[in-house]
Chain A
């Protein structure tokens, strides 16, 4: 267990250090969610005037929850890019040789993803508060929202690590990113589920991200809904993706 912890700490420290000291890595992961927040909350705020659009804290808060959870997911995705880059550069192979407990590598990258997202999440939250976002939830509910973000980040990081370790090339970037992107945007991003129509409503209805998004919006508004469903869904996803990432690591080990 001590060796697992040592590997986790070392990989996480390197991942966070690389993020913090390299503007080329840090800036896009901060700037993209900010752009989405500005574009959606600013450009689409008229949507809140639609009949049957009822979200008490307002459209900025409605969009903030999406951007907050999206930045969590993309914190994991960007870590997958780093894993792929480590394989391309040969660093990951040296890491596999030197790590006494290799499962600590996955845990280290996951902790690194969390560290990276905590920076982005803080910036996005401060930006939303500056933009006048209303927060109606109490302290416990806001911790719940943070918990949803952490769980989302973990699930995305495990997915990204798994794909990057299976494919071991930076060209895996699109495959890491696209499913997460599509899954997020097939949820009720711009309007509540009840205002969606047609095929997007049917898909959003069965999309697990919808429950997470609705739970997050409920927590921020101080009227929790589907919180248990969201946490259970994320826990199941994280468990399955842990197995997936572990198999990816085994594949990398076999490849040598």
Chain B
């Protein structure tokens, strides 16, 4: 029994155990012919994804720290912006705190995409195609590691924000809603990363897309409110850029309190991104798992 569990543990590390679990469920030894449900398959793959994420601590730290460095620097360097007439707050950090959450979510998308791309490159996905695995279980399970990273990041950013004097106009409830929205944003971006991995099949291609994600952040209302952006063309781009609404949804909880419109737009665009990315990923996954 001990030998079996040791073998299973090692197999989980290289993905082989996952193939067994997704085929027959965690109680494979007891009931070897019982096919695993979608939930069991998802849990097995999510456990593997979470373990992989947790084991790559060095890769977790940079994406978490980098947005905080920018928050620290820009929070002070741009504090003079609060002297612009009609600027919505006297503390620039209150305004800027939304940025690390979205920036961190973008890093999560790359992390999720690269991990999935590695599974494609190493042939793990092809081996899974030999099992009765459901594509949606693979997709959601694979994103489990990214979700854990998103949750960790959101908590860290919230704590750092509070420690540096960020105050919530919406109170404790607002801070909790901010956590929920930021985790949803991270999951939506992780799905986008998954889609890119499934489409391109290489980690290099996924990383190559990252600058484009970054552009959407910089071409948004990340540094100034849209109504205070002087360049008309920039204001137009920021208005049509969905990232602006993700930022403004998070920011509204800090600066204005309970702003229904900002929250609806924030959650709405997050949900839209999530649904579109998952639907396209599902289609791409079907192609990847084509059982010939």
Would A35 and B214 count as touching, CB distance under 8 A?
A: yes
What is the total number of residues of chain A having a CB less than 8 Å from a CB of chain B?
31
A1 at the interface (CB under 8 A from B): no
Binds A, one of B39-47, B77-85, B109-117, B184-192: B77-85
Query: At the interface, yes or no: A182 with Cβ under 8 Å from chain B?
Result: yes
**B76 and A199 form a contact (CB under 8 A):** yes
CA distance A200 to B73 in the complex (A): 7
Query: Taking the nearest CB of chain B, how far is it from the CB of A29, in angstroms?
Result: 11
Give the distance to chain A from B86, nearest Cβ to Cβ, in Å. 10
Asked if B219 is an interface residue, CB under 8 A from chain A, the answer is yes
Are the CB atoms of B83 and A51 closer together than 8 Å? Answer: yes
Which residue on B lies nearest to A195, using beta carbons? B80
User: Chain B at the A interface: mostly helix, strand, loop or mixed?
Assistant: helix
A45 at interface by CB-CB < 8 Å:
yes
Q: Is the CB of B80 within 8 A of A43?
A: no
Give A143-199 interface residues, CB cut-off 8 Å to B: 174, 182, 185-186, 188-191, 195-199
Q: Chain B's nearest CB lies how many Å from the CB of A123?
A: 15
Interface mask (A15-58 → B, CB under 8 Å = 1, otherwise 0): 00000000010001001100110110011111101110000000
Q: Which of A28, A42, A49 has the most CB of B within 10 A?
A: A42
Q: Is B240 in contact with chain A by the CB < 8 A criterion?
A: no
Minimum CB–CB distance for B82 against chain A, Å: 10
- Partner-binding segment picked from B141-149, B222-230, B255-263, B273-281: B222-230
Please give me the residue from chain A that is nearest to B84 by CB atom: A46
1/0 per position for B225-249, CB-CB distance to A under 8 A? 0001111011000100000000000
Residues facing B in A192-211 (CB within 8 A) are 195-200
Contact of B223 among A38, A43, A174, A197 (CB under 8 A): A43
Inter-chain CA distance A186–B73, complex, in Å, is 7
Q: Smallest CB–CB gap between B182 and chain A, Å?
A: 22
Interface assignment of B1: CB less than 8 Å from any CB of chain A: no
Q: Are A196 and B81 in contact (CB under 8 A)?
A: no
Task: From known contacts A31-B211, A39-B218, infer whether A174 and B224 are also in contact, taking CB-CB under 8 Å.
Answer: no
User: With an 8 A cutoff between CB atoms, is B163 at the interface?
Assistant: no
Which 9 pairs from chain A and chain B are nearest by CB? A39-B218, A200-B76, A42-B234, A46-B230, A45-B230, A42-B231, A195-B80, A185-B73, A191-B80
Seen from chain A, the residues whose Cβ lies within 8 Å of a Cβ on chain B are 24, 28, 31-32, 35-36, 38-39, 42-47, 49-51, 174, 182, 185-186, 188-191, 195-200
Between A and B, 28 residue pairs with Cβ closer than 8 Å are A24-B208, A28-B211, A31-B211, A35-B215, A36-B218, A38-B219, A39-B219, A42-B234, A43-B219, A43-B222, A44-B224, A45-B229, A46-B81, A46-B230, A47-B80, A49-B230, A174-B62, A185-B77, A188-B77, A190-B74, A191-B80, A196-B76, A196-B80, A197-B76, A197-B80, A198-B76, A198-B79, A200-B77
